[in-house]
Every structure is written in C-alpha cells, then in structure tokens.
Copies of this chain bind each other. A is one copy, B any other.
Amino acid sequence: MTIQFGYELQARDGKARRGVVHTPRGDIQTPAFMPVGTAGTVKGLLPEQVRATGADIILGNTYHLMLRPGAERVARLGGLHAFMRWDGPILTDSGGFQVMSLASLRKIDEQGVVFKSHLDGSEHAMSPERSVEIQRLLGADITMQLDECIRLPAPHAEAERAMQLSLRWAERCKAAFDPAGGGRALFGIVQGGTERDLRLRSAEGLVGIGFDGYAVGGLAVGEPQEVMIRVLSETLGALPEDRPRYLMGVGTPEDMLLSVAEGIDMFDCVMPTRAGRHGQAYTRFGRLNLKNAKHAEDLRPLDEDSDCPAMRDYSRAYLHHLVRSQELLGAVLLSWANVHYYHSVMRDARRAIEEGLYADHVAATREAWARGDESAA
C-alpha cells in the first residue's frame, strides 16, 4: 500500500502538539527542525552526519538550485535526493523569499516576478506555476506555494495587497500542483504582516483552497520575538488541527520553544550552520562564542553528556584554535554540533509534550541557557 502524506496528532499539552508527519520517504517526528540544504548540501556536513544529528527531513532552496545547477539539470541527474544523497523527505521552498532578498532588479506583478541572478546577472522569471514546476523537477516531497514576502514594518494596505496576491498565487499553485500518486504534499503560506485581521483572512482563504499543510511566512524578518509569538497566537487557531503547521525561517532555540507552545510543528533555519561557520555554538548552556579567548585553555567539550561526537569529543580549546585559525574543521564541527543541538531541542520538546510538562520544560530550558556553564568550569 502506498503511504500517503498526512499528519497524525499524538499528544497535546496546551496548544503545543506532538505528532508525526507521514510521507512515502519516511516519518517526520514533530515538532521537527529541518536543516537547510541551501544549494544541495547542508553546509559542511555529509548526508550521513545530517541523518545522525536526528534530521527526519531537510530543506532545499528553489532559488539557489534553479540558478545552479538548474532544475532541469537536477531532474536529468535523477532528482535532488539522488544528487545530494539524501533519501529522506525534502521540503523545497518556493524561491520567492530569496528572489526578494538576494536577487536584484525584480519586478513583481500579478503574473509573478522577474529577477536577475545574484550569481551572474542573468534574468529569470518565476510564476506560481513555474515555482511548482521547478519543485517537481527537483523532486520535492513537500512543495511550497509561491508567495510575496514584504519587509516589516509595513503599512496595513501594503501588507494587505501582498497577502491578497499571495492568496491568488496560492490558488494557482494548487491548480498547477500534481500530487503524483498522492504521496506528495503542497503547503500554503499564511501572510499578512503583523496584522491580526490580515493573518486571519489569509488563513481562512488558504483553508478554503485546501492544502496538505500550512506555513506561516513573513515572520522572523527583524520584528521583536514577542510580535512573532503574538502573530502566531492570533493565527494558528484558524488553521485545521489535522494538518502540520510550519513556521518558515525560524529561528533561535528559544524562538522554536515558544513557537511550539503556540502550536507550530515544523521549523527551518540556516542559523545552526551559519553560526557554526562563524564560531558560535548552541548548547544547553546557551550560546558560546568559541572565538572568545576564555575558551583558549578550556579542556571541556561543548557538552560531555551529548551523544554527538562534535559536541562530546573535542575540547573547547581545540574548537577555539580551529575557529581562530579559520580552519575548515572548525566550521564542520560547529555546524555538526549546532544542527545536533537543534534536533535535541526538538526531541526534548516532543518528550515534554508527551509528558504534559511542556510549560515547565520551557521554563527550565530557558533558565539553563541563562545560567550558562560557568559553575562547571
């Protein structure tokens, strides 16, 4: 029997949900973090390492992959899974966010967007239909609708215009999407800036069209954390219980914990790998800057109790040396450690929800981050 895409709610604790997203390429335990494989690689990590950190699913960036190596080329090479040796599910974004943040000389109208590549200046067009087609060529297990992301803060009228355009694009994506036997999924994206009325109208419009999952877009673009959490608290109630909810591009471990409390099931973020390349480590003691001279003779690993080799087996003194020396291995080890830590935050959140202790868990975790590890030094 073919496994269909679907969400199974297993436990709740307040608004926090513990569940499983079933896909033909494997289950995703939620709340889940999805490492970002921007250009066909989770930066610095072997696919086996990514899997070993606890990743059930990774994300691929349509914008990067359409420019290089190109969606048609990836399809000729057997799809993104074979290309990058990842056999689990892959979610691809629509390309819209990066078109609007990385590309230049863009034009947005009803039809779609025209932009110039940040790589070579070549001109490309992206419509809702083309975005869905590219994601099909890549072989996405979860396809995202094309939407328009605006900068915050934005006037109500501007947020409304972009939200309405995104809704019309959502409808066109739905029409263009071929579920290919039922195993593939299409997610809509709630927009509307920080405006409660717009977010609710966006959610209702998307639910009316009907998607396999719902994302919240346009957040984590510089607004305060409490604004993000407020928007989630005002929005998520309008989304169906039997579909996964994905907060795009978020965030810090604390952002994730607070968003799970509002009912978010899925996250993606470049933060663990980007921070790793810049000498930062996310740990249960909070964030450590390994560049800092105080680590120079610290023989402790990042976390002696971790089951991640990068966290457990290398001294902070060595990591400090690698970071200071700009050694590749420093970027590799810290990216590995951070992605592992993000997954452990999600794993611990899942357990706390199952036990009905989520609020206590969040409080204790935040306290541990704030306390740091100086007492153990």
A residues in contact (CB < 8 Å) with B: 39-41, 43-46, 68-69, 73, 76-78, 83-85, 277, 296-297, 299, 309, 313-315, 317-318, 321-322, 324-325, 327-329, 331-332
Contacts and interface: CB of A to CB of B under 8 A. Distances in A.
23 contacts: A43-B329, A44-B328, A44-B329, A45-B329, A46-B329, A68-B321, A68-B324, A69-B317, A69-B321, A73-B296, A73-B297, A77-B297, A77-B315, A77-B317, A78-B299, A83-B317, A83-B318, A83-B321, A84-B318, A85-B318, A277-B328, A328-B331, A328-B332
Contacts of A84: 318
A41 B322 CA distance: 8
Contact of A315 (B83, B317, B325): B83
B85 A313 contact: yes
Contacts of A332: 44, 46, 328, 332
A139 to B, nearest CB: 14
B77 A40 contact: no
B327 A39 contact: yes
Nearest to A39: B325
Contacts of A43: 327-329
A75 to B, nearest CB: 11
A37 to B, nearest CB: 10
Contacts of A317: 69, 77, 83
Contact of A329 (B41, B69, B327, B329): B41
A329 B317 CA distance: 24
A332 B49 CA distance: 13
A22 B317 CA distance: 31
A275 B26 CA distance: 38
Given A39-B321, A46-B332, 16 more contacts: A39-B327, A40-B321, A40-B325, A40-B327, A41-B322, A41-B328, A43-B328, A46-B309, A68-B324, A73-B296, A76-B297, A77-B315, A83-B317, A85-B318, A328-B332, A332-B332
B328 A328 contact: yes
Nearest 7 CB-CB pairs, A to B? A44-B328, A41-B329, A69-B321, A39-B325, A41-B327, A77-B317, A43-B328
